[in-house]
């Protein structure tokens, strides 16, 4: 599926899976699935996991392309408005083409790694959009990484790409996207339910555990899961069933 994004001023692809049988006039819940920063982009979810099976639970599954954007409106590339592309253009296009509910109570988002960062950021900054947010191995600490001692070309390239998206370190633009900052001002009672899972051998393990501790201290509604594993699809595919069990419960679809 391809559509024209006004925010990006270009055509963007996405994959969508629907139940085999849809009752005429029925409006279905929608789950947006955000890919990570390394891999095949929007194809990853359906190519590397068994997530497509959940379309049989009367869900529309939408898998957009996000490049290496962190799904944010880039500070230093004003034309790369990826947040507006997903939260405005994509949601509108899905509602136009498919029998998708436009109610917050019937809309969820799940992301892995880079996509998990965006899912949590939007849970805290745009609580009006989703009833459930899932984050598998979210790169929650990306704005706190220290590249000073990294002189390899891949490290320099990543530092520059992150600066392009979020702006220079220490700036207001960075703080406005930082989950560790946003969690201090977000309203727990208004924020979507959050499902966070991370592998115990991942570099993201400690930052996610620290973030979950702060969620608990501020009395957000969430669950936090850890299990042996590294940052790859074997771990995420194993986390998907628990994530969708929680999603179905909080979308009142568990029966």
Question: Which tens digits make up the pLDDT trace of 32-78?
Answer: 999 999 778 999 999 999 999 999 999 999 999 999 999 999 999 99
Over 90: is that where the pLDDT of 236 sits?
yes
Over 90: is that where the pLDDT of 158 sits?
no
The predicted model scores a pTM of 0.96
Of 152, 153, 20, 11, the closest CA to residue 89 belongs to 11
Alpha carbon of 119 to those of 25, 96, 109, 153, 203: distances in Å?
Answer: 30, 23, 6, 29, 19
Mean pLDDT of the chain: 94
pLDDT higher at 143 or 253:
143
* Non-local CB neighbours of 39 within 8 Å, separated by 6+ positions: 48
Question: Residue 17's pLDDT band (boundaries 50, 70, 90)?
Answer: very high
Over 90: is that where the pLDDT of 151 sits?
no
Where would I find the beta strands (DSSP E) of the chain?
A: 2-5, 10-17, 30-34, 60-64, 107-112, 132-136, 193-199, 222-227
The pLDDT value recorded for residue 145 is 85
So what CATH class is 2-250? alpha beta
- Spell out the domain ranges in the chain: 2-250
Give me the mean pLDDT over the 107-130 stretch.
Answer: 98
The pLDDT value recorded for residue 253 is 85
Over 90: is that where the pLDDT of 252 sits?
no
pLDDT digits (tens, 9 = 90+) for 186-209: 999 999 999 999 999 999 999 999
Over 50: is that where the pLDDT of 160 sits?
yes
Of 114, 132, 127, 134, the closest CA to residue 65 belongs to 114
Over 50: is that where the pLDDT of 149 sits?
no
The pLDDT value recorded for residue 207 is 97
CA distance 45 to 148: 34
Over 50: is that where the pLDDT of 249 sits?
yes
pLDDT higher at 234 or 160:
234
Give me the mean pLDDT over the 139-157 stretch.
Answer: 73
Alpha carbon of 221 to those of 91, 108, 193, 236: distances in Å?
Answer: 25, 15, 5, 22
């Amino acid at each position: 599926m391809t559509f024209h994004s006004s925010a990006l001023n270009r055509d963007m692809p996405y994959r969508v899976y629907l139940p085999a049988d849809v009752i005429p006039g029925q409006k279905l819940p929608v789950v947006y699935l955000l890919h990570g920063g390394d891999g095949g982009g929007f194809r990853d979810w359906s190519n590397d996991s068994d997530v497509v099976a959940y379309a049989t639970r009367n869900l529309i599954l939408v898998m957009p392309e996000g490049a290496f954007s962190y799904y944010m409106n880039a500070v230093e590339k004003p034309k790369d408005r990826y947040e507006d592309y997903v939260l405005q253009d994509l949601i509108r296009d899905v509602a136009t083409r498919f029998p998708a509910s436009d109610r917050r109570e019937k809309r969820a988002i799940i992301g892995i790694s880079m996509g998990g960062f965006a899912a949590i950021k939007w849970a805290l900054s745009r609580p009006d959009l989703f009833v459930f947010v899932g984050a598998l191995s979210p790169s929650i600490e990306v704005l706190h990484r220290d590249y000073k001692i990294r002189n390899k070309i891949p490290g320099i390239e990543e530092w520059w790409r992150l600066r392009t998206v979020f702006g220079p370190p220490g700036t207001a633009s960075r703080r406005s996207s930082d989950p560790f900052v946003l969690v201090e001002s977000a309203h727990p009672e208004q924020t979507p339910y959050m499902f966070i899972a991370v592998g115990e051998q991942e570099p993201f393990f400690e930052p996610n555990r620290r973030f979950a501790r702060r969620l608990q201290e501020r009395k957000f509604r969430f669950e936090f899961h850890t299990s042996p594993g590294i940052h790859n699809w074997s771990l995420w595919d194993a986390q998907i069933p628990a994530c969708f069990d929680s999603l179905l419960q909080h979308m009142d679809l568990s029966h």
